[in-house]
Amino acid sequence: MPIQRLKGALRILLFIAVFLGGVWSQSSGVIDDFLFYLPDVQYLIVQHLWLTAVSGGLAILVAIPLGIVLSRPSMARFAETAMQVLNVGTTIPTLAVLALSMSFLGIGTVPAVFGLFVATLLPIARNTYAGLKGVSPALMEAAAGIGMSPAQRLIKVELPNALYVIFAGIRTALTINVGTVPLAFLIGAGGLGELIFTGIDLYDPVMMLAGAIPTALLAIVVDALVSTTAFVVVPRGVNPSRA
């Protein structure tokens, strides 16, 4: 098969490239340059993750109940308007949200957490609402018809069936959150943005990459963590990845 032969050749080329890259970075001393930033990176990663955890956690705690409330039949009149507001909110660039929150809350961790919280809130609330609204009316009728109370319907039928969509929202939101935290540096909240933006200002690519590469890795790890959680938590019958 020509395609397999091509794949094999590419694999060998990739291996050679990695090897040459390693040789180059060793001989040019780049590795040592990176290692110089290791203590900074360790400290800033903790700060970075802390910002993500607080803002993301708050967002989850607020957004899911918000989505649930908006999806109740009694809220149907306001729900569409509220979702439109959320949609408009999503289109505002995160940098602008941070700038706005800075102008109200000043400089430091609090405005940064607030800005990140707002940016993270929207995808989760939207997915929670959409997921719950997407539960088939037949299921709801069956649940009501066999005598479940509204709360039982929500907990036993609606949420489990919407969980996969809700987790998709959390996954998107947290990945964006991790990628956005570097901007928090601009309003004085620290995080890996410190290395990135300082590196840019000083024309120091190694410093910049020492911030950027861990940020990218963090985003990938958080994404994997959330999708693993979803895989475990979402019941098998409604979990497409376990079908």
CB nearer to other proteins: give 1 or 243: 243
128 binds other proteins (CB under 8 A): no
CB nearer to other proteins: give 32 or 141: 141
Residue 47: which of 107, 112, 117, 118 has the closest Cα?
112
Give min distance, CB of 225 to other proteins, in A: 23
Give min distance, CB of 61 to other proteins, in A: 23
CB nearer to other proteins: give 97 or 132: 132
Type of residue found at 132 = L
Give min distance, CB of 151 to other proteins, in A: 11
- In the numeric block, the tokens 């940098």 are attached to 95
Distances (CA, A) of 135 to 93, 128, 132, 207, 238: 32, 11, 6, 49, 11
Task: Single out the residue of 121, 143, 219, 226 in contact with other proteins (rule: CB under 8 A).
Answer: 143
Of the candidate spans 4-12, 62-70, 147-155, 173-181, the one that interacts with other proteins by CB under 8 A turns out to be: 147-155
156 binds other proteins (CB under 8 A): yes
Give min distance, CB of 173 to other proteins, in A: 23
Distances (CA, A) of 65 to 5, 62, 132, 174: 54, 6, 12, 17
84 binds other proteins (CB under 8 A): no
Between CA 191 and CA 163 the distance in angstroms is 31
Residue 64: which of 151, 157, 128 has the closest Cα?
128
Between CA 241 and CA 234 the distance in angstroms is 10
Q: Which residues bind other proteins (CB under 8 A)?
A: 136, 138-139, 141-149, 152, 156-157, 160-161, 163, 235-238, 243
